[in-house]
Chain A
């Protein structure tokens, strides 16, 4: 059997992390094709509902890429997002899907390759967990 290729959704703020994507591209680093990016005005917009819906729709993992500490244009949208992710982790643990499938990452635009690194890191983590039990 071929190696399991997880499907990931990344909710990505249009500020720092999106610039990080641009830096990755300018360095010729590719973002793994199993990661699909949904861009949002701020990670503060990412709701518990969006994360759960993504898992329900068959994503093997979901992560949120926000700006680094103290660098949110909306003061603390990244902090609020982080709180929601902690909540989703608990919920997923309770229903046996596994909280490990969601994560929050923070990065600055200057940490260019970080976005590609995070994408690979998350892919490897989810690969280890195996396909989501909810995958259709």
Chain B
């Protein structure tokens, strides 16, 4: 870094969801922010959508925008464009022009977040989009459904305003396609948004027939598989085929679709409307600016980031978040933005003047003035779990001068990454991991407790107290924030002769073997990889997400070393989402064979004489059984959470039915836990790759900074209070509270509610049979008085 003075302000270019989140998190941590937006309003893509998946966040977008506009640390520049940037990391000078003037500003760092634009299918002659009015893009469909639109929320097709009865979605328009333009990557989000659109329409008008034509259903995220099953149960039809022709039906405005079904037979169906599920492309202006700044782009023209630094560009001081970083959904974009903030914090150092917490909307409608109490913040963090996510968050906070305590139950740091040889891009994991472990172990601000666990936790945001115990001793730490990053583990398969034949491997053991003895599998003549072992079936109805990329990566590495090797990947859906599509393509070019199987037709593994393996699989293209005799089989078994019930209870975090931690139901907070001041990162939330774990670890640090940078935190406001005279300790409130806040002291037999933890929903107040609880501003008397005054006026 140069000797130039580092400027504590940041320029964020692009005011979509990622840019807004980055601006707000930066402002909360005390930086001054210039939020530069090209259009005349902030919000980006989301305001154009009808509903978002999976939780609708439409009601939160406006308030986020208002927060940005009213935050004293954020200067929003609308209708503005960055013309020129000079200087260097720590001291950039930018020239920004709006409609009528030019502004010069200084910034210590720059965040590129100007997002994506939907693929424009006008030039896409196969689908005749420009020719027929009833072929619309998915974005246009959102607008057609919007209650504020011309049809007032009733879906009508453009040509004749008829309410459609049959609608088809065509996936991968402008994605996974190198014939028409250079759009090789998978856009990641289209499978889920098409399902969402289809399901929403089905919910509103059950008689409408909805069909989705797709190649691979990429439902790899948390809860996606469940949503897909729900859609199928409600009658959404999924057809695996790439449609090659759309023709008009003579004498009507309907459209005829011709496609080849799974058995290779030509089928023809008519639809009232066809929706093109258009892919995500990096926004043109954003790419132009990135090029001007000298930032490297990847093969798909998204901004390239450095290995193991998911938000750092090739130019020091310039960061990237949101869909400009690669196609991603809303919650990933928000996570990405918080990760950028933590990296800027570690880069520019902490600031002196954090902004005050903003009063919430609820204060305006309370029946009495709300008082808060200022409580000092313990400027220290507790990180539970010493894997990649935990270490990244600890290091990011320590670099800003905050003391961090790491508690790890094993006898060494590293977590699951210890068994990973390479990322899907081919980056070497052991090198990175050793660097990270060294840095964390030697950092003066980080205290590490190995073979230890948390046995007690009390307090609230800004003021937690936890007891840590190992076999010899027990200590207590005070901390302002908690980050849970307890990771996940790989299950042991119970099928395919695992444990019976030495050449049947579980993928973590397989990869560990490749770290220890890189050449070990190179001489094999034939290899088989079996996907979805224990995932997406029976009790585990979720996708383990990274296994497809793992198998494809391994196949490429083996095939490169030994081009003679026959490699078969037996899969159910190939979920190489986003840029991972590139390696899927590469593997096919190298001659790796991919054979799809269904749950009804799972591969069979048998052992012949002398331990020789045989795999039988039904090939869906040939419609014949194929017999393979592999030298080894690698099983990609399911990933299960290590987030234990005990920890969940201690920190008042919920577990979902698959055992993963649940993020806050407050919308747009993908890494906040239900309890304020507790953050979640890594695989304890859901299975994910190393780079995503890094981003989440850093994002948790970014969110934590918003609390640690303040000297005091406000406690109180709209919270519940117990009248000890009336309380009989019946435990109703304990059972009813969604956040497990009330506690009944067994000696006193009286409930107490910690104001620092209470969210003020008022559920306990209404449930309390003794009427012993009231909530400030919304007591029974106040609500009844309000009702009466309205009725008598």
Contact = CB atoms under 8 A, between A and B. Distances in A.
B736 interface: yes
Contacts of A71: 55-56
B720 to A, nearest CB: 10
Contact of B791 (A18, A22, A27, A57): A57
A3 B763 CA distance: 39
Most-contacted residue by chain A among B58, B766, B788 (CB, 10 A): B766
Interface of A: 7, 9, 14-16, 18-20, 22-23, 26-27, 36, 38-42, 44-50, 53-54, 57-59, 68, 70-77, 80, 84, 108-114
Interface stretch (B282-290, B476-484, B775-783): B775-783
B665 A19 contact: no
B784 A41 contact: no
A109 B58 contact: yes
B59 A113 contact: no
Contacts of B58: 19, 108-110
A5 to B, nearest CB: 13
Interface of B: 50-51, 55-56, 58-59, 62, 146-148, 152-153, 361-362, 365, 654, 665-667, 674, 718, 736, 738-739, 759-763, 765-767, 775, 778, 780, 783-784, 786-788, 790-792
B147 A23 contact: yes
A103 B169 CA distance: 37
A26 B149 CA distance: 11
A111 B763 contact: no
B362 A14 contact: yes
B665 A36 contact: no
Nearest to B786: A38
Nearest to B361: A14
Given A16-B59, A75-B665, A54 B148 contact: no
Given A53-B784, A74-B738, A44 B761 contact: yes
11 contacts: A14-B365, A16-B56, A45-B761, A47-B783, A49-B784, A74-B759, A74-B761, A74-B763, A75-B674, A84-B766, A111-B153
Given A108-B58, A109-B56, A38 B783 contact: yes
Given A14-B362, A47-B765, A80-B766, A108 B59 contact: yes
A40 B775 CA distance: 11
A42 B153 contact: no
B667 to A, nearest CB: 7
Given A50-B787, A111-B153, A45 B56 contact: no
Contacts of A44: 761-763, 766
Contacts of B762: 40-42, 44-45
B231 to A, nearest CB: 15
Contacts of A77: 738, 761, 763
B791 A7 contact: yes
Given A7-B791, A9-B787, A54-B791, A40 B778 contact: yes
Nearest to A59: B791
Given A16-B59, A73-B667, A26 B790 contact: no
Contacts of A110: 50-51, 56, 58, 146-147
